Amino acid sequence: MVTGEQLPQLTAKDFKGKVDPDWCPGCGDFGVLTGLQRAVAELGLQPHELMTISGIGCSSNFPGFFNSFGMHTLHGRSLPHASGAKLANHEMTVVVTGGDGDGYGIGGNHFTHTSRRNLDILYIVMDNQIYGLTTGQLSPTSELGMKTKTSPHGSIELPVNPIASAITAGATWVARGYTGNIKQLISLIKAGIQHKGFALLDVFSPCVTFNKVNTYQFFRPRVQPLEDIDHDSSDWKAGIEKAMVWGEEIHTGLFFETNARPTLGEQEPVLDEGGPLGFRELGLSKEETERIVSRMM
């Protein structure tokens, strides 16, 4: 990761994108945007050292609102794009942003395999437990019994537990934040960026328009930061046990962390030869390159 030590220290305002957010007033996603802007400024990063990549959804408009390199990709396909970007330039800090439908629904397969490969990125999922962009349908994290446009009599589907899923799939840093606790959220974002390996940060980001169940009023009395209780984040079993707690008490914070596994990039020998792939000379002659391009055009 490039630190930008030779460049001027920036503030959160320097990471404001050229496009203003179009989220509903009060949307939790504003908290994630503010949190990431403040986190990268405090880490001393520069916009050219960062890339934000997203899929489709309310939260996936994120790259347009944030000043860095960015890609707004396909529904559920942000992690494959991030894999290519990170391996092409492994010195780039890559942050993937999306929602629970995008990441745990259509993107669930990529979520599993990116976790087990231990790609060195931070994946921030703005989890509002509803499909907000398409006006309020059941999502993979919606609670049992939740009434939505696609479950008018109440959901009969068991919700995905992203924390437990990430730990068992092989993610090496797994945490949960809440946009109503911005101090904790900024701390988690900074830790997730600094971690070497696949880092999942699932964030409770209430949808004030379509989810009338999991609101700020719902979370406020229930949220219990793990840093306030006795929790060993090096114990994956304890992390899963804490992740399964849901009711009058819901945990946020760092569930699990390990540095015992090398990252995908560290295991790829070609990345040790001459710096990032994106800056290397092609191994083909000019004539060979032109011949290949002409055949593809």
Closest CA to 114 of 72, 64, 173: 173
Specify whether the CB–CB gap between 162 and 104 falls below 8 A.
Answer: yes
Dig out the tokens for 34 from the structure: 């503010």
- pLDDT at 297 > cutoff 90: no
Query: Would you kindly state where each structural domain of the chain is located, as residue ranges?
Result: 12-296
pLDDT of the residue at 4: 45
Dig out the tokens for 242 from the structure: 């804490």
State the Cα angle at 284 between 281 and 286, rounded to 5°: 90
In this structure, how many other beta carbons lie within 10 angstroms of the beta carbon of residue 260? Answer: 7
Section 239-247 average pLDDT: 97
DSSP 8-class letter at 123: E
pLDDT tens string 173-215:
999 999 999 999 999 999 999 999 999 999 999 999 999 999 9
- pLDDT at 1 > cutoff 50: no
Section 32-39 average pLDDT: 98
Section 206-232 average pLDDT: 97
State the Cα angle at 126 between 257 and 58, rounded to 5°: 155
Residue 224 is inside which H or E element, if any? strand 223-225
pLDDT of the residue at 5: 52
- pLDDT at 162 > cutoff 60: yes
Question: Which CATH code fits 12-296?
Answer: 3.40.50.970
Distance from C-alpha of 289 to C-alpha of 107, rounded to nearest angstrom? 34
Phi-psi region of 174 (alpha: psi -120 to 50; beta: other; left: phi over 0): beta
Task: For the chain, give the percent of residues with pLDDT over 70.
Answer: 98
Q: Predicted confidence band at 240 (pLDDT cuts at 50, 70, 90)?
A: very high
pTM for the whole thing?
Answer: 0.93
pLDDT of the residue at 8: 87
Helices (H), the chain: 29-42, 62-65, 78-88, 100, 108-117, 162-169, 182-194, 216-219, 236-243, 286-296
Closest CA to 45 of 97, 87, 84, 91: 91
